[in-house]
């Protein structure tokens, strides 16, 4: 799982507005810096890393929604980039899985898997062509310039006010954001006990991911506690992610077999689809069990209560300014 690049010189006691600008620009810069890696077709990790970077940027925009005029930022262009990256990444994952499974199948099924893989190679070539257009160097340079210009006026007045009583610190914003993300995850927890509700489980995965991203984002304000919590959340996110991947496979294979029954499929491909469907149904059961076990462990060991305790203390806790920061210099004088 790709790790977030630390953002330097985050002063948690400072007013949130300035730090929000700093964070968003840093996240945008991280995403754009991965362009060449994403277009290196010999290494699929490049697309994955840029896709995750785009998700972290969009997640931060969502976190800061109450403090930023979102309509003033080029969010549609960011969504288009994320969509194009996702289209290529999805095909990379499918082809890697098919390559691995082909070696485990008999010759007849393996031949059908190869035919299915060739379909996905064609789809990947198309997706790569679109991505090359969407993330041209000129396009990304224009995006960064436009984003920077708009961000200067996107921060809401209450976050840039000179009245100190009206200014929330970045640390306080972090506490609010993480608390809201945690509440949404807990509100959706019943999905853990409904193994066949694929949409609800997918929503649960997204909520877990956004909570983890928020904890990572505000880790400079929470220190080792936040880092430990983020690592534990990554484990749940991974389990739910594997579960969702199986659900996508099952839905796609079911559609393929339905089409085959109507006379629109090759028998060899049908044999492969049935074999693959059996495999992913079995795998799904394992990943659902892992997800449920992880959540149950959180419940029984009080992990969520620990997080709430940390958050409750966050509003009152005084975080020391970073050395050489503006806030640190003021404290010294």
Residue 47 neighbours by CB distance under 10 Å: 27
Which H or E run includes 323?
Answer: none
The structure tokens listed for 152 are 């200067």
Top mean pLDDT of 54-68, 180-194, 219-233 is at 180-194
- Which regions of the chain does DSSP assign to beta strands (E)? none
Q: How far is CA 175 from CA 81, 214, 308, 328, in A?
A: 30, 10, 10, 22
* Average pLDDT for the chain: 87
Which H or E run includes 192?
Answer: none
Cα dihedral sign for 56, 284, 89, 72?
negative
* Residue 332 clears pLDDT 70, i.e. is over it: no
Cα–Cα dist 210/58, whole Å: 10
Q: Which residues pair with 71 in a beta bridge?
A: none
The arithmetic mean of pLDDT across residues 61-80, rounded, is 84
In sequence order, what DSSP letters do the residues of 268-316 get, joined into one string? HHHHHHHHHHHHHHHHHHHHHHHHHHHHHHHHHHTHHHHHHHHHHHHTT
Convert the pLDDT of each residue in 254-293 to its tens digit: 999 988 876 655 676 899 999 999 999 999 999 999 999 9
Judged by DSSP in three states, 68 sits in strand
* Residue 95 clears pLDDT 50, i.e. is over it: yes
Cα 163 off chain centre by: 36
Q: What is the DSSP letter of 267?
A: H
Domain formed by 15-164, architecture: Alpha solenoid (1.40)
Cα dihedral sign for 172, 78, 69, 65?
negative
Cα–Cα dist 137/197, whole Å: 42
- Say if CB 61 and CB 96 are below 8 A apart: no
- Say if CB 58 and CB 101 are below 8 A apart: no
Convert the pLDDT of each residue in 155-171 to its tens digit: 765 444 444 445 789 99
Domain coordinates of the chain in residue numbers? 15-164, 169-316
Convert the pLDDT of each residue in 219-244 to its tens digit: 888 878 888 899 999 999 999 999 99
The per-residue pLDDT for 320 is 44
Convert the pLDDT of each residue in 115-149 to its tens digit: 999 999 999 999 999 999 999 999 999 999 999 88
Q: What is the DSSP letter of 40?
A: -
Cα 96 off chain centre by: 21
What lies within 8 Å, CB to CB, of 89 at 6+ separation is 44, 47, 48, 51
- Say if CB 241 and CB 195 are below 8 A apart: no
The structure tokens listed for 94 are 């499918």
φ, ψ of residue 271 to 5 degrees: the values are -60, -40
What lies within 8 Å, CB to CB, of 244 at 6+ separation is 198, 201, 202, 205
Cα–Cα dist 174/62, whole Å: 13
- Say if CB 124 and CB 88 are below 8 A apart: yes
- Say if CB 311 and CB 179 are below 8 A apart: yes
């Amino acid at each position: 799982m790709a790790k977030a690049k630390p953002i330097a010189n985050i002063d948690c006691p400072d007013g949130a507005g300035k730090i929000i600008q700093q964070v968003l620009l840093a996240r945008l810069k991280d995403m754009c810096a991965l362009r060449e890696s994403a277009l290196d077709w010999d290494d699929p990790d490049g697309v994955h890393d840029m896709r995750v970077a785009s998700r972290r940027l969009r997640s931060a925009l969502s976190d800061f929604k109450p403090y930023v005029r979102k309509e003033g930022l080029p969010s549609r262009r960011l969504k288009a980039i994320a969509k194009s990256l996702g289209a290529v990444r999805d095909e990379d994952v499918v082809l890697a899985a098919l390559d691995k499974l082909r070696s485990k199948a008999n010759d007849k099924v393996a031949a059908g898997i190869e035919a299915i893989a060739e379909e996905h190679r064609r789809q990947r070539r198309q997706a790569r062509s679109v991505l090359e257009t969407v993330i041209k160097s000129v396009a990304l340079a224009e995006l960064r310039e436009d984003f920077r210009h708009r961000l200067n006026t996107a921060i809401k007045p209450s976050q840039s006010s000179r009245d100190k009583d009206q200014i929330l610190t970045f640390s306080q914003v972090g506490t609010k954001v993480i608390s809201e993300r945690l509440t949404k995850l807990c509100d959706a927890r019943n999905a853990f006990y409904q193994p066949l509700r694929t949409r609800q489980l997918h929503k649960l995965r997204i909520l877990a991911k956004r909570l983890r991203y928020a904890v990572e984002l505000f880790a400079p304000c929470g220190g080792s506690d936040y880092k430990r919590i983020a690592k534990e959340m990554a484990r749940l996110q991974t389990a739910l992610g594997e579960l969702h991947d199986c659900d996508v496979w099952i839905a796609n294979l079911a559609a393929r077999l339905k089409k085959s029954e109507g006379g629109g499929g090759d028998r060899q491909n049908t044999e492969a689809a049935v074999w693959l469907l059996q495999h992913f149904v079995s795998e799904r059961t394992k990943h659902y069990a892992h997800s449920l076990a992880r959540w149950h462990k959180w419940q029984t060991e009080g992990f969520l209560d620990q997080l709430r305790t940390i958050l409750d203390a966050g509003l009152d806790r005084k975080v020391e300014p970073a050395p050489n920061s503006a806030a640190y210099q003021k404290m010294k004088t």
